[in-house]
Amino acid sequence: MNDSSTSSNPLKRINAQVGDRYAEMVSRVHVNRGSGRMMLLVVVAFAVFAALKPQVFLNPLNMQNIAIASPEIGVIAIAMMLAMLTGGIDLSLVSIANLSAITISTLYTSIAAGDPTRAEQLMPVLILIGLVVGLVGGAINGLLVSRVGITPILATLGTMQIYNGIAVAWTGGRTLYGSPDSLTAIGHATVGGVPMLFVVFVVIAIAVGVLVSRTPLGLKIQLQGANPVAARYSGINSRRVLMSTYLVAGLLGGVAGILFIARNPTASADYGASYVLLVIVIAVLGGTNPAGGFATVFGVVLATLTLQIVASGFTAVRLSSYQYAMAQGVILILVMVADQVTWRRRRIARRPASTAAVQA
């Protein structure tokens, strides 16, 4: 660009760089990161296991189990995507979800011991308290990252240990039993044959997708992850953006805790221990840049379904959980290698045009 007024004004130049970076980011999201890629993986995984074990894999009960198991993992993966979109990470999400579930179960059993009817009537209040637990957990993470300035991976690693320790001390390491019957009924209900939990998952995914792509906060989150320095010089309040991001992530963690207890009326400190790494894999597979700046909610949803289909398929063909873990790693590596190769080719293809524009 040969604009003397822009080149002479540092702020305008930085704003132009932000705009260029955002355009590049959007292009990379749509061209290279892929919802199309994940859609292909979903179809391929489904077709492979349907061909290997059609009677088991295509059983309607198995299909329903996939739809029921996906939401709790998918919601946490979407929360992880938001944190990674800013260039950070949130390792405490599963612990927040467990704290939310434990809080609901404890309060419900305490009230139900004296008045079961009253306990059922208070179900909306219990759900609200579970969400508040998620918000508090997210607020603590946000303060540590945005105000204190601790690196996100270290801040959330520390809070993960704290939240998990609180849960263990709270429960004494035991599994708690009990949740409102109406909440459990929602967890087992269907709408047109589709589990209600999956419907909730889709609604949450749409809401977060709108937040990321259609709101000023979403744009700021993306710019914060793409180039924090340029974002700051463009007038974006990085502290406020980070705080808002971790608050939303914590809220989604609270929602996941409610889904935990809706699916199975129990709560424990170690539920979903394997989810921490799994949701990172899902977020990256879904098109989230680990360095921040771009992500697709639809890609994360498809990645969640892909890994659930693979998990169900491995069970159908009687392969072990260790082999499933290896499959996760293989899929992640292959997708990342394909991403890097494609991205490098596109950069090389753009260089002649960029050089010509500079010379002009």
Distance CA 233, CA 53 (A): 57
Distance CA 341, CA 351 (A): 16
For 278, the token pair is 């799994």
**Among 122-131, 135-144, 152-161, 321-330, which is the least confidently predicted range?**
321-330
pLDDT of residue 340: 77
Residue 25 near residue 226, CB atoms below 8 Å: yes
pLDDT tier at 25 (50, 70, 90 boundaries)? very low
Written as one letter, the residue type at 264 is N
Q: Where are the domains of the chain?
A: 75-295
Q: Tell me phi and psi for residue 346, to 5 degrees.
A: -70, -40
* pLDDT (average), residues 118-124: 93
The residue with greater pLDDT, 332 or 90, is: 90
Residues 6+ apart with CB under 8 A from 171: 102, 267, 268, 269
Q: Is the pLDDT of residue 126 over 80?
A: yes
Q: Tell me phi and psi for residue 194, to 5 degrees.
A: -95, 125
* pLDDT (average), residues 36-49: 89
The residue with greater pLDDT, 338 or 8, is: 338
* pLDDT (average), residues 96-109: 97
pLDDT tier at 319 (50, 70, 90 boundaries)? confident
pLDDT of residue 344: 80
CB atoms within 10 A of CB 145: 26
Q: Is the pLDDT of residue 23 over 50?
A: no
**Among 15-29, 278-292, 321-335, 336-350, which is the least confidently predicted range?**
15-29
Length of the chain: 360
HEC states along the chain?
Answer: CCCHHHHHCHHHHHHHHHHHHHHHHHHHHHHHCCHHHHHHHHHHHHHHHHHHCHHHHCCHHHHHHHHHHHHHHHHHHHHHHHHHHCCCCCCCHHHHHHHHHHHHHHHHHHHHHHCHHHHHHCHHHHHHHHHHHHHHHHHHHHHHHHHHCCCHHHHHHHHHHHHHHHHHHHHCCCCEECCCHHHHHHHHCEECCEEHHHHHHHHHHHHHHHHHHHCHHHHHHHHHHHCHHHHHHCCCCHHHHHHHHHHHHHHHHHHHHHHHHHHCCEECCCCCCCHHHHHHHHHHHCCCCCCCCCCCHHHHHHHHHHHHHHHHHHHHCCCCHHHHHHHHHHHHHHHHHHHHHHHHHHHHHHHHHHHHHHHC
Q: Which of 276, 284, 255 is nearest to 94 (CA)?
A: 276
Q: Which of 49-53, 155-159, 212-216 has the highest mean pLDDT?
A: 155-159
Question: What does the mean pLDDT of the chain come to?
Answer: 87
The residue with greater pLDDT, 225 or 351, is: 225
**How many Cα atoms are found within 13 Å in the side-chain-facing hemisphere of 142?**
21
Residue 35 near residue 287, CB atoms below 8 Å: yes
| pLDDT tens-digit readout, 245-257 | 999 999 999 999 9
Distance CA 238, CA 220 (A): 8
